Structure 1
Amino acid sequence: MDLLKNWKLKLRYWKLKTAFRHFTVIADGEVMISNPDFDTTAGSAAFFSIQAWVSDNDEAIDMVVTIGRNVGFNASGRIYVYSTEPQQPPPDAPHAYGLNFHQYVREG
């Protein structure tokens, strides 16, 4: 538990080392299969977002696409990758958390 105490400060000042970088990834696409865990409806346009500890941008994109497929989402639009402040400490392996959907109605 002591390792997790003040982990953000330790990470910022290089006392806690990690091979990973933290990203927030947002993918535009469509819900292919309804998922009651995320309250999504098949056929809806949606943004799917994750926060991830990964090696680089490409791995972040691969992760949002793969996890999206596993929860019934097809990332058919643009994917946005942002380097962001973490909400969870770095793990020992690539890791995603904070999965979120925002459904919307497409115009036209």
Structure 2
Amino acid sequence: MDVTEERFGNDAMEDTVEILPKSSSADPLEATKRVTTPYMTKYERAKILGTRALQISLNAPVQVELDGESDPLVIAMKELREKKIPLIVRRFLPDGTYENWDVSELIVE
């Protein structure tokens, strides 16, 4: 099982959101026809940071300049702040379709 496909619990959000590597297949719904919100949810943020921190701890290349940071979670947060996390959020819709959102496209508050 790939690290990005691992399930972390029985939370309802786990069934509606999946984190994919950036090289995944194209989005079936065009970006102009998206129906979900452009805001990143707290559940997506937690899953993205956890997934990316795990990748960094397993020696994945870091996408930002390091200023002495060594904690993978701190580095992942810096990547998220600079919108450089190489992951895609797949949001499943009730009709069985899904939308792919690049992390750099989502608004983080």
Using the size of structure 1 for normalisation, the TM-score is 0.26
Greater CA radius of gyration, 1 or 2? 1
Using the size of structure 2 for normalisation, the TM-score is 0.26
Structure with the largest fraction of helix: 2
